[in-house]
Amino acid sequence: MSSPSSAYDPVSIAAVVDPHFDAALETGRSPGLVYGVVADGQVLHSRGLGLRSLRSEEADSAAEPGADTVFRIASMTKSFTAATVLSLRDEGSLDLDASVAAFVPELASGHTTSSVTIRQLLTMGGGFLTDDPWGDRQQGLTIPAFGELLRSGIEPSLTPGERFEYSNLGYAIVGLVVAAVSGKPYEQVVGERLLRPLGLTSTGYLTETLSTDRAVGYVSRTAGWVEEPIAGSGAFSPMGGVLSTVNDLARWVGLFQAAADDARWARVTSLPDLRRTSLREMQVTQRLVAATSGRDADGAPEVTGYGFGLFEDFRSWGRSVYHSGGYPGFGSHMRWHPASGLGLVALANGTYAPMSTVATAALGDLVVQLEADLHPPSLRLPVLDAARAAVNDWLGGDTPEGPASEVLRSMFADNVETDVPWVERVAVWEQLHRSHGRLEPMEGPPTRPSPGSMSWQMLGESGTERFKVTVMVAPHDPRLLQSLDVKTVDPGSARPAPTADLS
């Protein structure tokens, strides 16, 4: 596999994505923004628009944001929190299905909170109501004050584990679990396990420790843009406290992209204390969010799910993984398309600036316009094509015995002739030929109901009777078949059609 970072032309990338962000800035939702198209942990194309600060002393040409400008990334932080928890799980320090109350004693007395698990909170299934307006203002809440809040009797409004409900409160509680398990402050643990090993030197929780090239957050009021102070690190940092840059987030996204591909993984030079399987697990739906009909009447449904700190999304242009960030003063989004290896990071300095909308549209347009792979290559098992040829030869032959049958039977796993003895298959073959003559494969490619199965249709000599053939590969040996089905599709004939069932 060639590296996506060398497969795509930056000029072509810019021609597709730049108009999306030009239009986004013109909507007036933020004073400035910066974005980058990423692959293999590198930025292929980046561009800053507008101003990173409206302060008079900074309003010059240098005030345009760039790929190294620090923005608060808000809820994109949840991916860092979830990865930290999974790293603790990987080393055996905690069980995701353990009660949170075992680590957060303030919850032990609650009727329902005492049974909420770490897994439920990580996957937005803890039962707490969606809380963005309230949660986004709790960033600077101290740990002692948060403890008092929990002791006041907070209870989930929904049954834990029953459904998806986005909860910042849940992730704040997860931060207490991290601190309790490690014996260190949450922010320190994230730094030790993720940020420093990956060399994310412009990513962290305290502005004073990061670059002076920082974007100032703003909110639009009737009088114009008003500066939003950046809240300090506190109890709600695990849900939205990280500050970062396009360049650092390119490396973070690249780690997830690499985890799903052997060739890309081999090129990763720095790794956190986190299993590759856990990075993949984070990107796979653990809890369904929504499924809606496609935009076109015949289009496939769009499906969204939540993994561990990341969303998984299926659209007409394929599967993508993402998380947004909305906060007082900032809006952000990161999304990647595993099949093509392309991703996009967008950061803006306006309250709840809709970077998710523009970044999603830009990435979808990009993979389509560049004619990138929209879907990963399907698993190709040679036995399926061989089985199709063998079945066609057998059903289209002059005899149910002989060389064609020997080839077909050599592909059977040990259960096949126990399920349907060969003598019965021969009897059905003979009945089919008496009623319909030879069976010939119909034109058109076969379908693949699953990676380990194949279906196609065959037609009797009269041209009116159709039969559907399905074969399935054995799970223990991909060179063998575990089943062969031949079903009548539509008899459609005056002659009685036998029930063609060789399953």
Q: What is the CA angle 333-337-340, rounded to 5?
A: 145
Is-contact 72 285, C-beta < 8 A? Answer: no
Of 369, 391, 415, the residue that ends a domain is 369
What pLDDT does 442 receive?
94
Compute how many other C-beta atoms are within 10 angstroms of the C-beta atom of residue 360.
22
47 assigned to some structural domain? yes
Rounded distance, CA 10 to CA 343, Å?
A: 13
Phi, psi of 23 (to 5 degrees): -65, -35
The residue-averaged pLDDT of 357-381 equals 92
Is residue 220 over pLDDT 80? yes
The residue-averaged pLDDT of 235-259 equals 96
Same domain, 386 and 462: yes
Same domain, 274 and 341: yes
What pLDDT does 212 receive?
86
pTM score, whole prediction: 0.86
What pLDDT does 23 receive?
97
CATH number assigned to the domain comprising residue 449: 3.10.450.50
Confidence label for 108 from pLDDT (cuts 50, 70 and 90): confident
Query: Could you tell me the two tokens for 10?
Result: 């930056």
DSSP state of 385: H
402 assigned to some structural domain? yes
Same domain, 51 and 170: no
Confidence label for 495 from pLDDT (cuts 50, 70 and 90): very low
What pLDDT does 288 receive?
95
Rounded distance, CA 202 to CA 110, Å?
A: 40
Is-contact 487 501, C-beta < 8 A? Answer: yes
Q: Which residues contact 96 (CB under 8 A, 6 or more apart)?
A: 85, 89, 117, 118, 119, 122
Of 162, 187, 212, the residue that ends a domain is 187
Instruction: Sheet with 453-459: list strands edge to edge.
Output: 440-441, 453-459, 466-473, 481-490
What pLDDT does 496 receive?
39
Same domain, 137 and 212: no
Confidence label for 500 from pLDDT (cuts 50, 70 and 90): very low
Please write the tens of the pLDDT for every residue from 478-494.
999 999 999 988 654 43
Please write the tens of the pLDDT for every residue from 403-432.
999 999 999 999 999 999 999 999 999 999
The residue-averaged pLDDT of 455-459 equals 95
Please write the tens of the pLDDT for every residue from 264-320.
888 887 777 789 999 999 999 999 999 887 665 556 679 999 999 999 999 999 999
Of 369, 394, 412, the residue that ends a domain is 369
Q: What is the DSSP string of 27-95?
A: TTS-SEEEEEEEETTEEEEEEEEE-S---GGG-SGGGS--TT-BEE-GGGHHHHHHHHHHHHHHTTS--
Rounded distance, CA 91 to CA 281, Å?
A: 16
Residue 428, classed as helix, strand or coil, is helix
Residue 333, classed as helix, strand or coil, is strand
Task: Count how many domains the chain has.
Answer: 3
Q: Which residues contact 279 (CB under 8 A, 6 or more apart)?
A: 83, 255, 256, 259
394 assigned to some structural domain? yes
What pLDDT does 269 receive?
76
Is-contact 21 33, C-beta < 8 A? Answer: yes
What pLDDT does 497 receive?
41
Is residue 175 over pLDDT 60? yes
Is residue 2 over pLDDT 60? no
Same domain, 474 and 359: no
In the block, residue with structure tokens 């061989």: 386
Same domain, 223 and 319: yes
The residue-averaged pLDDT of 97-102 equals 95
Is-contact 167 130, C-beta < 8 A? Answer: yes
Same domain, 332 and 213: yes
Residue 143: Cβ-neighbour burial (10 angstroms; 0-12, 13-18, 19+): middle
Same domain, 72 and 214: yes
Confidence label for 501 from pLDDT (cuts 50, 70 and 90): very low
Report the range of poorest mean pLDDT among 193-197, 254-258, 374-378: 374-378
Same domain, 250 and 361: yes
What pLDDT does 376 receive?
85
The residue-averaged pLDDT of 132-148 equals 93
CATH number assigned to the domain comprising residue 279: 3.40.710.10
Q: Which residues contact 349 (CB under 8 A, 6 or more apart)?
A: 30, 31, 32, 33, 52, 65, 71, 215, 216, 217, 218, 329, 330
Rounded distance, CA 296 to CA 314, Å?
A: 15
Is residue 344 over pLDDT 50? yes
Residue 179 sits in which domain range? 80-187
Residue 490: Cβ-neighbour burial (10 angstroms; 0-12, 13-18, 19+): exposed
Same domain, 286 and 362: yes
Report the range of poorest mean pLDDT among 124-128, 135-139, 268-272, 332-336: 268-272
Same domain, 231 and 280: yes
Query: Could you tell me the two tokens for 432?
Result: 């089919």
Rounded distance, CA 347 to CA 378, Å?
A: 34
Same domain, 273 and 132: no
What pLDDT does 273 receive?
79
